[in-house]
Amino acid sequence: MNRNAKDSVFCDLFGKLEYLMRLYRELHPEDKDVREDDLTIVTLSSVFLKGIYNDLGFMRGNNLFVLVESQSTFSYNIIVRLLIYLAETYRRYIDRNGLDEYSTKVLELPRPEFYMVFTGERKEHPETISFRKDMPGMEGCPVDVEVKVIYGSSDGDILSQYITFSKVFPQHKKCCGKI
């Protein structure tokens, strides 16, 4: 049994444009004009070497980066990881587009958004967590990362379905044993 099965399902599911589109529409219901070809997957991966990788990264056109991490254990350290993923995603974007970060011309970069899909159990349900607010000693820090935390809804949307799967899967795994 793949001990990272929930993570694998998340990455595989939203690695498909059809489902990525549904996810984007849940995160941005106001964007009625979006089409599948407006979305580009920019998930970080390292096939041969151990390096930086994340669950899901995608762009909407050239003006929005969306980084999404699925977590079954609540950890404020996700904020730091997302900051690292953003820096690497920007580095790759700059390289891919032949931009020069040393130029005097101001770079036009996609605006980032950060999400944590939380699939575990927790009494407190903050809507957002942030570098400045939730990391010790970072009050007043000139850098901030705000992460929207998603717990699912009762609407049966694709994220809620994934969260339900993530909660039921360990119960079935325990009941059925090794597959």
Where do the domains of the chain lie?
Answer: 5-176
Helices (H) and strands (E) in the chain — how many of each?
5, 6
Contacts of 170 (CB under 8 A, 6+ apart): none
- pLDDT (tens digit, 0 to 9) for every residue of the chain, 179 residues total? 444 566 678 888 999 999 999 999 999 999 999 999 999 999 998 655 567 788 899 999 999 999 999 999 999 999 999 999 999 999 999 999 999 999 999 999 999 999 999 998 889 999 999 999 999 999 999 999 999 999 977 677 888 888 888 887 655 555 666 55
Cα–Cα distance between 69 and 115 in angstroms, integer? 6
Q: What is the pTM of this model?
A: 0.88
